[in-house]
A and B are shown apart, each in its own frame.
Chain A
Amino acid sequence: MEVMDAARPVEEGVEVPQRSRRLRLRRPLTYAVMVLLAVFFVFPVVAMVVLSLQPDETQVIADQDSIWAFFPRALSLQNYEDVFARDVGRAVFNSALITVVTVGLGLVVNSMCAYGLARLQWIGRSVVIGAVVALMIVPFQSVSVPLLLIVNRLGWLDTYHVQIIPFVANPFFIFLFYQAFIGLPKEIEEAALIDGAGRWTIYRRIIAPLSRPTFATVGILQALFVWGSFFWPLMVTRGPDVRPLPVAMQVLFSDPNVPLGDVFAFAAVMTLPILALYLAFQKWFVQSVASQGLKG
């Protein structure tokens, strides 16, 4: 019963009088279900933060299966100090650098390609469009081993660029930009052409500002992907110098001598910046994820 009423679009919220009594009984139930679900989705994050603030390791272990996992008994940054003493700062810096550079280059390269495909007539254009669409289905994992061979020969192991350059161009992001650019009105562009503007100017001054939402969408999507990337860095980084956060986390977690409180502090360091960004730019996050629906 719950389900179908809700399936009605939001705008249809006006209640018909005879239904209202049933609804009045149902509302609290709906809220109860929703609150329970909310608890299910937030409890790990809350427990992570609370336990990371507990400096006493035996207390962390004792508290992690009790109600004290959710209510801080101690507010100490000791674990954070310990974790940063283990050079977590380096991993934070590495991940931030790799993410920022990849996303920055990616936005330019992918949107430029899409502009060329969407607005210019050139021989080979339709072949490139077909290739981009076909490449969308190739999973990275299936090309990873030969790619490892290539970067190994190039002497790129244990560098920043081995974690950046292969992920700049992305067929799916080109496709998202292409769809957005196709939908823009041509008139402004034609007027600018008559006024003597070059294509580069048009791309920078007209197309890019008009498609800011698409840039935000693609940027967030790529940033989430790069920030969480684990599989490839596991293969191409050995030492802590260029190691990104997820690999550093695995190293820390698999060391039995590292206290659990430190692991939780590290997890919080990795998660809280992204969650803060998510809360600040919710609309864009949700939109960027929803845009993946276009892929189908």
Chain B
Amino acid sequence: MATAIEPMSRDRLSDRRRRRGRELLQGWGFAAPAIVLLAVFLVLPFILAIYSSFTDQRLVPNPNLPTKWVGLRNYRRLFADEGFRSGLIFNGIFVFVVVPLQTAFALGLAVLVNQKLRFRNAFRTIYFAPVAVTMVVVAVMWTSFFNPSAGLVNTVLDTISFGFLTPERFGFLNWALDRHGARAAIIILSIWQGVGFQMVIYLAGLQSIPGSLYEAARIDGANPWQQFRHVTIPQLRNTTIFVVLSTTILAFALFDQVEIMTQGGPQDATQTMILRLITFGFRQGQVGMGSALGVFYFVLVVVVAFTQRRLLREERAVA
């Protein structure tokens, strides 16, 4: 019996070894195209970004001026740059206004279209539609609506306020020309385009809450508001973390709509980090400066992602 088992198990062993060897090749084979592409077009430029941020690398090399190591000079110049500082300010304002507003708006919409109502699907379709519209087109359309004298927005405001809300009385209604008006316009069109995306995510979150939780809450005598406050909100915790996180990161990446509508003006009121990045790295050909900004932006995104996750988790622990 023993001799009969021996060769068989040895056979099985070598078979397994052969199979493992084959899987090694096959595994790398399947993954290789993606690995090569990611290495060349994501990892390599990432390493290069960190390295170049400490050099005076130019986009078009000057043979008389070889690239040299400049230490932290790019970072010092970056933080001294007026445009970059204005960019940080507007990105900050944008985050603090858009993230809470858009998150609350999205939750409201999700709750509305989660009701058992006729035409519910039609409303969902409509609210989500702007997500499918390219941001550049959104910016172009809204720019003409925000035209201070001939735009739809001011006409509507004028009409519904019986002539009270006019650009003459309220400066910010000169949308693109006024600092606050320009900021408000960018914020409004961004929310218009983006809120459907968060709504869909909240909708998925709402539908994953077990109905038994609401039944239990009702039996305990919870009124609808208490149910919303103590069942819906806590149950949507993970969804909210994601929505807040992704909106914040998108808000820091603000570019398309600003480039089309204001190019950062008036007087840098709608300047953004990425607008500055394209100015340094592309329009002025300063790869070193552009890379430093890119590295700063990366660090910012990582920090936001981690602190936000932690904050939301602690909040939950306290409550």
Q: Which residues of A contact B (CB under 8 A)?
A: 1-13, 27, 30-31, 33-34, 37-38, 40-45, 47-48, 61, 64-66, 69, 109-110, 112-113, 115-117, 120-125, 128, 131-132, 135, 137-139, 141-150, 152, 165-166, 168-169, 171, 174, 199, 203, 224, 227-228, 230-231, 234-235, 245-246, 249-250, 253, 260, 263-264, 267, 270-271, 274-275, 277-279, 282, 285-286, 289-290, 292-293, 295-296
Is A141 within 8 A of B253, CB to CB? yes
Q: How far, in angstroms, from A165 to B34 measured CA to CA in the complex? A: 11
Q: Which residues of B contact A (CB under 8 A)?
A: 20, 23-31, 33-35, 37-38, 41-46, 48-49, 52, 57, 59, 108-109, 111-117, 123-138, 140-145, 147, 150-152, 154-155, 192, 196-197, 200-201, 203-207, 209-211, 214, 223-229, 231-232, 238-239, 241-242, 245-246, 249, 253, 255-256, 259-260, 274, 277-278, 280-282, 287, 290-291, 293-295, 297-298, 301-302, 305
Is B112 within 8 A of A6, CB to CB? yes
Q: For the complex formed, measure the closest distance between the CB of A144 and the CB atoms of chain B, giving whole angstroms.
A: 7
Say which residue of A12, A117, A152, A250 sits within 8 Å of B260 (CB atoms): A250
Q: Tell me whether A3 and B108 are in contact in the complex, defined as CB-CB below 8 angstroms, given that A109-B37, A296-B241 are known contacts.
A: yes
Is A145 within 8 A of B152, CB to CB? no
Q: How far, in angstroms, from A53 to B138 measured CA to CA in the complex? A: 18
Is A66 within 8 A of B37, CB to CB? no
Is A142 within 8 A of B142, CB to CB? no
- Please report whether the interface of chain A is mostly helix, strand, loop or mixed according to DSSP: helix
Extra inter-chain contacts (12) besides given A4-B229, A7-B111, A165-B37, CB under 8 Å: A2-B111, A3-B228, A4-B225, A7-B228, A33-B112, A45-B141, A65-B147, A112-B34, A142-B295, A150-B45, A166-B41, A290-B204
Q: How far, in angstroms, from A267 to B52 measured CA to CA in the complex? A: 39
Scoring B111, B136, B196, B238 by chain A CB atoms within 10 A of each residue's CB, the highest score goes to: B136
Closest residue of chain A to B302 (Cβ to Cβ) is A137
Q: Tell me whether A109 and B274 are in contact in the complex, defined as CB-CB below 8 angstroms, given that A146-B52, A296-B242 are known contacts.
A: no
Q: List 17 A-B contacts (CB under 8 A).
A: A2-B112, A7-B111, A9-B209, A42-B129, A44-B192, A61-B150, A146-B46, A146-B48, A171-B38, A249-B137, A253-B143, A263-B140, A267-B137, A267-B140, A275-B133, A290-B201, A292-B197
Residues from chain B with Cβ under 8 Å of A31 in the complex:
117
Is A64 within 8 A of B207, CB to CB? no
- Please report whether the interface of chain B is mostly helix, strand, loop or mixed according to DSSP: helix
Is A149 within 8 A of B52, CB to CB? yes
Q: How far, in angstroms, from A42 to B141 measured CA to CA in the complex? A: 12
Say which residue of B34, B144, B205 sits within 8 Å of A110 (CB atoms): B34
Q: How far, in angstroms, from A282 to B44 measured CA to CA in the complex? A: 38
Is A5 within 8 A of B291, CB to CB? no
Q: How far, in angstroms, from A135 to B298 measured CA to CA in the complex? A: 11
